[in-house]
Structure 1
Amino acid sequence: MRKKLRVAAYAVCVRDGRLLLARSPASDGTPEWVLPGGGVEHGEHPHDTVVRELDEETGYRIEVTGLLGVDSFHHTFRREGLRGPVDHHGVRLVYEGRVVGGELRNEVGGSTDMAAWHDLDAVPGLTRIRLVDAALRLWRERPADGRVPLSREA
């Protein structure tokens, strides 16, 4: 079985009771909301990753104001075009960020197609990945160990 480790960095940006999210297609093509952020490139510090990814996906420049915690998930799945299942482990560093410049825009030619602010009260009604819920719990609860237990993401 092929093993894959992916390390990524994301930011929770809340302003005036609204959360900044990006929209990405799920594996079946259905759009779902995600935190802006993405994979750490080889040799890149995760802090730099989240700043770069926020700019790419939303048009905003952010100041990282803290490390909220780490989300980790592990699952096995089949991927089209690959032989056999993939044993995937995702490690996601969740930062808090504050918008300090730029203008909201949609990413062109990337992994997301839209960026938007959403009222915090409306987030539970959105089609979203589990990381959004985990990150909001980290933001709200600020656990000393940087970890919130949630059910596994499929």
Structure 2
Amino acid sequence: MRRKLRVAAYAVCVREGQLLLARSPGPDGTPEWVLPGGGMEHGEDPYDTVRREVAEETGYRVRVTGLLGVDSLRLIGTRPFGSRFGRRADRHAVRIVYAGEITGGELRYETDGSTDFAAWQDIDAVSGLVRVPLVDTALRLWRERPAAGHLDPTAAPQA
């Protein structure tokens, strides 16, 4: 079985009760909301990754204001989570989640990238959006600020 590790960095940017999100086509082509961020390039520091990715996907410059935590996800199977040609793959995603503050730039959409739209969404409305699970995980990290940077999977989210 093929093993694949992906390390990525994402930003939770909140202002005036709104969360900055980007839109990406899901595995079946249905658009879903994602956090701005993405995969690290070889030799790149995750701090630089999140700043680059936010700029690429939203047009904004971001100042990292804190490390919220690290999330790990492992998926074993065939497409869409595996590899091409129906081979089984063991994929492991390590997601570094930062808090960020917009410091400049103008909202624009990414062209020829993994996202096609970016927008501010009311935090209270996020639960009604079609979104990837990482959005909920990151918002929980942002709200709870666990000292260890890791969520207790057995604990209910705090209101």
**Counterparts of residues 1-150 of structure 1 (less than 5 Å):** 1-79=1-79, 81-150=84-153
Q: For residues 38 and 77 of structure 1, what CA distance do their matches in structure 2 show? A: 22
TM-score by length of structure 2 reads 0.92
Structure-2 separation of matches of 1:108 and 1:83:
29
Whole-angstrom CA distance in 1 between matches of 2:153 and 2:76: 18
Question: Structure 1 stretches of 5 or more lacking a match?
Answer: none
Runs (4+) of structure 1 moved beyond 2 Å?
A: 79-83
> SS state of the match for residue 55, structure 2?
helix
Q: Distance in 2 between matches of 1:150 and 1:56?
A: 32
Q: Which runs of 5+ in 2 are unaligned?
A: 155-159
The TM-score normalised by the length of structure 1 is 0.95
2:121 corresponds to which letter in structure 1? H
Secondary structure in 2 matching 1:47: helix
CA contact (8 A) 1:134 1:150 kept: no
Which secondary structure state, in structure 1, belongs to the residue aligned with residue 42 of structure 2?
coil
Query: Which amino acid in 1 is paired with 2:125?
Result: A
